Amino acid sequence: MSAAAEDPSTVNSDNPENQAPSGLKSRLLSAFPAFASRNFRLYFTGQIISMIGTWLQMVAQGWLVLEMTGSAYWVGVAAATSTLPTLFLSLIGGVIVDRYPRKTILLWTQSLSMILAFVLGTVTLTHIVTIPIILTLAFMLGCVGSVATPAIQAFLSEMVDRNQLHSAVALNASIFNASRVIGPAIAGLMISWIGTGGAFVANGLSYVAVIIALLAISTTAAAPRAANEHPLQSIRDGIAYTWKHPLLRAIVLFVSAVSIFGWSFMAMLPVVAKQRFGLGASGMGILFSAFGLGSLTATFFVSMSSGRISPEKMIIGGILTFSLSLVAFTFAPGVLPGLGFLFISGLGMLSAFATMTATVQRLVEDRYRGRVMSIYLMVLMGLMPVGNFLIGIISEHFGTSAAIRASTLVTLVATGVLIASRPGIYRAWDLYRSRMEH
């Protein structure tokens, strides 16, 4: 395998802004090396504010749909609609990310997302919102996200040095999970005080922070761009590269299964909160926050343990922890034990996924980065609608607890298959590296 694939970089390692300073900050930067980059610090600050707003909208949308329909099925449909475009458009998004400046792409996508949030807030506050309107705006937001998400992942390699990339990936995941802790809790209070429309407007305002941060970021080197070949050929090349790479192929296949059957329980948390635990909007926010707090803890753990725990152990151990804790959550006798199990499941799930994302970033050659990340994110996020539809239907007929247990069982089976396949994966990886070296 080429050196670029093993240790990619798109910035100059001699860049002064990325040199770790001496003094009191050295211990912090040894644990979180990405914070040595001014660009990453700007991005981190703006993005965490924006992501809190995103979680306000996600939680408020689920609650609004549940209040309008009283149906777990329609909650699942609404959640699926927002991620469905990722399944069909992510590959095109990856081609765009590999051809055009990633910072420019992010400025456009964040601005469009802000406009859509304001539109949803306006129709809700004026009481003209309907389920078709919610689904349409959710679908449009998903279309924007199918370009924005791979752009964010690829842009990380432009903001930090190669030795900071693993930390940057983990800390980027921590943005999502810190907002998962704070956003739902704020959303629950906001829904109680000013309604779901106010939460949507607040999300629109939150995009201002990340737009300002992006305008302030200055990268000194542009990432290599794909040749101006036909988009379909670019997509085929990205798929072929991913499939021929044994480790990338194994990760993508495993993520596919966990995306469908592992993550789908999130769509049912509003139903669990209201129908099982008898909680209102604020209580629902606490359930989301418990999982998010565990996830946040995991991302810091992954950043600090880089090089100390093998990725294989982190991935398998994390998924097993998630699955067993989620099953225990369905048997929880009350809210407090349930919160504990959600915390542990979040810790396990994000330990695995932050490690898998960092591994993909480390392995991929930069000329394929946008397309490979779009494939990875397509199976991670684009297949979630399948799980959301399935768990919504099963919940309607057999209850949410049974649906969550059934999905978790499939996740455990997929993990068992991965464990059994390790010898073959390693043999294929050794052969692949040998061919690349010659």
Q: Which domains does the chain have, with CATH numbers?
A: 36-216+230-437 (1.20.1250.20)
- How far apart, in Å, are the Cα atoms of 415 and each of 319, 326, 348, 361? 7, 15, 13, 22
Least confident of 8-17, 113-122, 311-320, 383-392: 8-17
Phi, psi of 305 (to 5 degrees): -95, 10
* Element counts in the chain: helices (H) and strands (E): 16, 0
Q: Max alpha carbon distance in the chain (Å)?
A: 66
Helix, strand, coil in percent for the chain, rounding step 5: 85, 0, 15
**The pLDDT of residue 225 is above 70:** no
**The pLDDT of residue 1 is above 70:** no
The amino acid at residue 122 is T
Q: How many beta carbons lie within 10 A of that of residue 222, not counting itself? A: 12
Distance from C-alpha of 52 to C-alpha of 106, rounded to nearest angstrom: 17
Total length of the chain: 438
In this predicted model, what pLDDT tens digit does every residue of 283-326 receive, in sequence order?
A: 877 888 888 788 878 877 777 766 667 778 889 999 999 999 99
More confident residue, 431 or 139: 139
Distance from C-alpha of 322 to C-alpha of 341, rounded to nearest angstrom: 9
In this predicted model, what pLDDT tens digit does every residue of 252-263 receive, in sequence order?
A: 999 999 988 988
* pLDDT, mean of residues 153-176: 77
The reported pLDDT for the residue numbered 102 is 84
The reported pLDDT for the residue numbered 221 is 52
Q: Which of 109-123, 287-301, 396-410, 421-435 has the highest mean pLDDT?
A: 109-123
More confident residue, 86 or 196: 196
The reported pLDDT for the residue numbered 188 is 77
The reported pLDDT for the residue numbered 8 is 36
* CA geometry: angle 223, 225, 227, nearest 5 deg: 165
- Residues ≥6 apart with Cβ < 8 Å to 297: 343, 346, 347
Average pLDDT, whole number, for the chain? 81
**The pLDDT of residue 52 is above 60:** yes
Find where tokens 């464990």 sit.
419
Distance from C-alpha of 139 to C-alpha of 117, rounded to nearest angstrom: 12
User: Percentage of the chain surpassing pLDDT 70?
Assistant: 87
**The pLDDT of residue 4 is above 60:** no
pLDDT band at residue 14 under the 50/70/90 scheme: very low
Positive or negative, the CA dihedral 11, 96, 232, 379 is positive
Phi, psi of 194 (to 5 degrees): -125, 5
DSSP character string of 218-247: --SSPPP---S--HHHHHHHHHHHHHHSHH
Distance from C-alpha of 409 to C-alpha of 406, rounded to nearest angstrom: 5
The reported pLDDT for the residue numbered 2 is 37
The reported pLDDT for the residue numbered 383 is 79
The reported pLDDT for the residue numbered 264 is 83
Q: Which two tokens stand for residue 244?
A: 């021929």
- Using an 8 Å Cβ cutoff, are 37 and 161 in contact? yes
The reported pLDDT for the residue numbered 410 is 92
The reported pLDDT for the residue numbered 175 is 80
